[in-house]
Amino acid sequence: MHRRSVAVFDRFLSALATILEKTEAHCEAKKFKPEVILAARLFPDMFPLVKQVQLACDFSTRCTARLAGVEPKSFPDTETTFAELKDRISAARGYMGSFQAQDFAQSADREVHFKAGGRDMMLKGEEFLSFYALPQFFFHVTTAYDILRANGVELGKRDYMGAP
């Protein structure tokens, strides 16, 4: 469970940080104000780029903590720059890296309690990871990627996958 969660989250958060670096360079090259891209959305009723990155970090760290049987650490949503978003990703990766594989013993069968849509939920760890946390995480990472592609940032599948 540790490898299926922490290793996956870490790889894609690393890729997301690299994508943000490319986006920052794109803004400089095209003379765009970074705030324009940071506030960009795919559609008016969707969250902007900043919130997509924050939520990707939140779903990964909260899942990691819950699978390890501890209360998740809270990260305030205060980021307004690329540098601050990259720092948040780094903090999320560091937090997840503080958990060891043995912290996930019995996590597949552990009851995980969480709130979703204002409702109290409970799933076994395996179901929580596979059917809730990973899909939520990838939704927000993918949406961040799509916002950037829609705004002309030259990214490809290798960027998204974190390929060397």
pLDDT for 164 beyond 80: no
Residue 90: burial class (beta carbons within 10 Å; 0-12, 13-18, 19+): middle
Domain 2-102+125-161 coded CATH 1.20.120.450: yes
Amino acid at 139: F
Q: Kindly report the backbone phi and psi dihedral angles of residue 153, in degrees, each rounded to the nearest multiple of 5, phi listed first.
A: -70, 130
Q: Are 54 and 79 in contact (CB under 8 A)?
A: yes
Tens-place pLDDT, residues 100-152 = 999 999 999 999 999 999 999 999 999 999 999 999 999 999 999 999 999 99
pLDDT at 92 exceeding the cut of 90: yes
pLDDT digits (tens, 9 = 90+) for 32-78: 999 999 999 999 999 999 999 999 999 999 999 999 999 999 999 99
pTM for the model: 0.97
